[in-house]
Amino acid sequence: MGSPRLVLGLLGISLLAVAFYASVFPNSVQMFRVSDERNRDDDSSRETTSFVFPVYHKLRAREFHERILAEDLGLENGNFVESMDLELVNPVKVNDVLSTSAGSIDSSTTIFPVGGNVYPDGLYYTRILVGKPEDGQYYHLDIDTGSDLTWIQCDAPCTSCAKGANQLYKPRKDNLVRSSEPFCVEVQRNQLTEHCESCQQCDYEIEYADHSYSMGVLTKDKFHLKLHNGSLAESDIVFGCGYDQQGLLLNTLLKTDGILGLSRAKISLPSQLASRGIISNVVGHCLASDLNGEGYIFMGSDLVPSHGMTWVPMLHHPHLEVYQMQVTKMSYGNAMLSLDGENGRVGKVLFDTGSSYTYFPNQAYSQLVTSLQEVSDLELTRDDSDETLPICWRAKTNFPISSLWDVKKFFRPITLQIGSKWLIISRKLLIQPEDYLIISNKGNVCLGILDGSSVHDGSTIILGDISMRGHLIVYDNVKRRIGWMKSDCVRPREFDHNVPFFQG
């Protein structure tokens, strides 16, 4: 290395190698070119407004066993609603907000105390005020990045509705969406029934993976939203008035009122707000891993960290407006897990806050279960009597397990490698044992990764709440990218620390 010629020669070879790789694998190198453009002058008018929502947890009905769904979780630890500072005094129209908020991104906002966990409560939700300020009603809505349409149980009259957390929404006839309107055409595009252009109302029917469904009509009303800069806004939003719910969905609605659709579809709440220039079409959520922790969800780009995020390209789906990325390798510890993608070499990962648990394709799931047999050679043994989840272990000492930290040493992390198979230029999402395990009521540790053979298309990895806790995850629909970073989910990093984020 003492020869200048040798040093220059090695440098030249390195540059040629990088140039060659860039020409052969442009998509992978593209990930290095992601830059923070949030302060562009031409976008400043669209990116100075964000909404922050509280997140709560409730029982997740779609994947839970029916026996568990029937349990009454109660609200002994759920006194969050009364302490939320969400009183909307003198809300203003969004156009007025936009004209006065451009220079006050760091103004005060409200954060809400939240309890979040996957088991036993599982289901995360927020609450939104709908209707006129003088007679509006708060509704608790599941946050669901896998759903397009926001809908609320309603009295139209109601054919089949659960008790719900609040009184049924009562639509007004003059607010119904006509079948000729664009949102109706979009919603009915993928339904079995043909679109009716002459109908006076727009009917919808949504079927979920567990064959539950919601039927209703599209309507519109004012949604009241609190801005990141402290201002208050109201905007007319198109959503579903669900008057007929069937299946396990009814169990979910015992203590919630509907679904908050957060997908990339035009009718989702963030897309509607973005189409009117109210926000930039960016959605972020942070679900605390601590059982007594807080969490939040935001819409808009103000709270996206300017550094520390891992960004990967968002994968386009030909039929669904979901949040997906491509994965090239998956492993449990040092053991490789198969991908059911093209030629078994490339797989897909779908981010879904509507799922409590994570799902692997059948072959990868079987390989994972085989690898986990080593756990039984240590201080744990299978307990088939625990029906909380398909696979549970108890301590060989027969003492109940009280914390994941006591047993995580027996398990290995799961690694998802995104981009190139070359480690030096790829991105990785690390799923630690605490991101896929739960402690059951019997004091056992259970595997929160399930067989996804009959979920979605059967070949996609579904990343559920259990594996997204303790991370800030951002879906940037403007730059078509997905990002994440570790977080305690107490407050957004970009928030003004001189302003109290939690109140109440």
Cα angle 93, 271, 165; round to 5 = 75
Alpha helices in 234-331 (DSSP H): 249-252, 269-275
> Is 325 in a helix, a strand, or coil?
strand
Number of other residues whose CB lies within 10 A of the CB of residue 49: 27
Q: Which residues contact 23 (CB under 8 A, 6 or more apart)?
A: none
The answer to whether the CB of 477 falls within 8 A of the CB of 279 is no
Beta-carbon contacts of 494 under 8 Å, excluding residues fewer than 6 positions away, are: 302, 303, 304, 305, 306
Starting at the edge strand found earlier in the chain, the sheet holding 347-351 runs: 324-327, 347-351, 461-463, 358-360, 449-451
Residues paired with 454 in a beta bridge: none
* 380, 498 contact by CB (below 8 A): no
CA distance 352 to 358: 9
Which residues are the active-site residues? 144, 352
Q: Which residue has the tokens 């990218």?
A: 481
- The DSSP string of 209-235 is TTS-EEEEEEEEEEEEEEBTTS-EEEE
